[in-house]
Amino acid sequence: MKFDCRAIVCGLFASMIATIAISAEPVSIESHADVASANDLSNLVRKVADQVSPGIVTVYALRGPRMTLPMRLREQAIHGHQSAPSTYRPTTSSPIDSPDDQGSGVVIDRDGWVLTCSHVVENASAVFVRTADGQKFHASEVVCDPVSDLAIIKLKDAADLQEVKLADSDSLGVGDWVISLASPYDLQRSVSAGIISSTQRWVPASPYPLIQNDACTNPGSSGGALLNLHGEVVGIIEGAVTTTGEFQGIGLATPINVVKDVTEQLRMNGYVERCRFGFETQPLTPDMAKLLEPSLPAGLYVKAVMPRSPASLAGLLEGDVITEFDGKVVTQSFDPDSINANAATVKSHAMKVLRDHEVIDLQILLKHTSHSSATPTIPQTPPTDSFEHYDSLNGLGLATLTPSMIRELDLPPDAHGPLITHVSYDSEAYREGIAAGMVIARINNQRIVNIGQYVEIIKELKPGKPLLFLLQSDQGSHLVMLETHRREGND
């Protein structure tokens, strides 16, 4: 085919003239209406964010020993090995080699119950949250369900918190507008909007279908709220599918109806009951199905059946083809993961299977087989060889600061006071970020020079009086206030 270049140029020129003429016309009534609709949506998003923000918290999980970087490097050099690699993803709010994590959470009970993701808080040595108005609450209890990646946190001394409203996630449809409210990268009260891309997105390692949406999801968003335009939570932000580590438009959230069931079991039992049928399947392609049975359009081929499993006891055999499950015909679009997702404890499930060209009805009765739970445990054995004095009131191990240590730990040349060499996991000091490698330069209004002076000040401290520490480290000097609670056996 030949192209007439002159005709193409003339056509483009005519198109440009028409475009200029159109753009010169006054804005139409329809355009004003579009702007008004966009403004209405903006106002609605703003209203939802303002209403729900008090029920959203930022979650912090601390793991392992608290050390400054120079102290950590010194310890590694002394022991001749690197620390065990962490299984947790660092966030921008944590040092590069830190196993600490930061996420988001939603208040589900005004008396201090918070919902978040299990991967944010599991195996943490200490967990605390910050509310939208800046209050800080420590966790008195953390219960995790790693299978669903959900966890609940009980906040100590919390009351009259604003709880979120939960929606019915089954009412969601593709194209519905949603709003995300979370703390990505520790940026509190971050709001984003998008639409539902899928309400039944199955991904590896998830026992339930997730809500796919394109509202921004980044590190630190996990545990945050996915909201409808009524300000109700339709899902808990789980994470995102990405090949770069940054958001690429595929956010995932656990449907709130699933969350309700898991949360109820965690609060009542401390774990989630789960069942498994005990068989593995593979969807048949049309050609595979026709080869096994000419009139069969689709099916699930049973690849294996576990001995003594509910499926085995019901009579399911390797080589069977499942054609119907709980009244639903297996088609090419049927997702086999939905079978285990619908596995309810002590419930009979019906299926039709094709065996030797005959259709057989089977009933599988599920019984509770196992449960998963993970509540953090806090090891508490101070290494007595790492300090000269142990302050049990504040959970601090102290040693004498020497000129060589000042140089080795990259401390200010004029650093003075006891050197912190250990911080107990269950202490207020640990939760406030005090770390080994820091130096206590002042307590309240008094300059500290040595351990003996520190001990005298702590001994004379009035019960319940807070401590204001001026700490020196390789990062400079900063203040930390500790609420002291005199422990039994402490003078």
Mean pLDDT of 168-176: 92
Q: Are residues 322 and 262 in the same domain?
A: no
- Residue 241 in any domain: the answer is yes
Question: Of 326, 347, 367, which one is at a domain's C-terminal end?
Answer: 367
Tens of pLDDT, residues 452-468: 999 999 988 887 788 99
Q: Are residues 317 and 287 in the same domain?
A: yes
pTM over 0.85: no
Q: Using the predicted structure, report yes or no on whether residue 19 has a pLDDT greater than 50.
A: no
Tens of pLDDT, residues 175-204: 999 999 999 999 999 999 999 999 988 887
Asked if residue 148 lies in contact with residue 258, where contact means CB atoms within 8 angstroms, the answer is: yes
Q: How many CB atoms lie within 10 A of CB 421?
A: 23
User: Strands (DSSP E) along 6-70, which ranges?
Assistant: 56-62
Strand 272-274 vs strand 419-423: parallel, antiparallel, or unpaired? Answer: unpaired
- Per-residue H/E/C for 375-425: CCCCCCCCCHHHCCEEECCCCEEEECCCHHHHHHCCCCCCCCCCEEEEECC
Mean pLDDT of 217-232: 93
Q: Are residues 235 and 175 in the same domain?
A: yes
- Residue 391 in any domain: the answer is no
Selecting among 100, 149, 214, 320, the annotated active-site residue is 149
Q: Using the predicted structure, report yes or no on whether residue 148 has a pLDDT greater than 80.
A: yes
Selecting among 104, 190, 221, 222, the annotated active-site residue is 222
- Residue 286 in any domain: the answer is yes
pLDDT at 163: 94
- Residue 236 in any domain: the answer is yes
Residue 358 host element (H or E): strand 358-365
Tens of pLDDT, residues 325-355: 988 899 887 777 777 666 655 578 899 999 9
Domain count, the chain: 2
pLDDT at 415: 94
- Residue 199 in any domain: the answer is yes
pLDDT at 25: 52
Comparing 487 with 472, which gets the higher pLDDT? Answer: 472
Question: Of 367, 402, 430, which one is at a domain's C-terminal end?
Answer: 367
User: Could you confirm whether 119 is annotated as catalytic?
Assistant: yes
Residue 177: CATH number of its domain: 2.40.10.120
Tens of pLDDT, residues 385-429: 678 999 988 999 999 999 999 999 999 999 999 999 999 988 889
State the residue range of the domain holding 131. 38-63+100-273
Tokens linked to 196:
């539902």
User: Could you confirm whether 368 is annotated as catalytic?
Assistant: no
Residue type, 470: L
Tens of pLDDT, residues 102-135: 999 999 999 999 999 999 999 888 899 999 999 9
Q: Are residues 187 and 154 in the same domain?
A: yes
Residue 318: CATH number of its domain: 2.30.42.10
Q: Are residues 108 and 247 in the same domain?
A: yes
Q: Are residues 335 and 268 in the same domain?
A: no
Strand 165-166 vs strand 232-240: parallel, antiparallel, or unpaired? Answer: parallel
- Dihedral over Cα of 28, 43, 187, 244: its sign: negative
Selecting among 118, 119, 169, 427, the annotated active-site residue is 119
Asked if residue 367 lies in contact with residue 310, where contact means CB atoms within 8 angstroms, the answer is: yes
Q: Using the predicted structure, report yes or no on whether residue 34 has a pLDDT greater than 90.
A: no
Q: Are residues 202 and 53 in the same domain?
A: yes
Q: Are residues 265 and 295 in the same domain?
A: no
Q: Using the predicted structure, report yes or no on whether residue 375 has a pLDDT greater than 70.
A: no
pLDDT at 383: 60
- Average pLDDT over the chain reads 83
- Residue 58 in any domain: the answer is yes
Tokens linked to 18:
């028409």
Question: Of 257, 273, 289, which one is at a domain's C-terminal end?
Answer: 273
- Residue 246 in any domain: the answer is yes
Q: Are residues 312 and 221 in the same domain?
A: no
Q: Using the predicted structure, report yes or no on whether residue 225 has a pLDDT greater than 60.
A: yes
Q: Are residues 232 and 285 in the same domain?
A: no
Q: What is the DSSP letter of 336?
A: T
- Dihedral over Cα of 278, 283, 288, 293: its sign: positive
Q: Are residues 221 and 143 in the same domain?
A: yes
Q: Are residues 224 and 160 in the same domain?
A: yes
- Residue 361 in any domain: the answer is yes
Tens of pLDDT, residues 314-323: 999 999 999 9
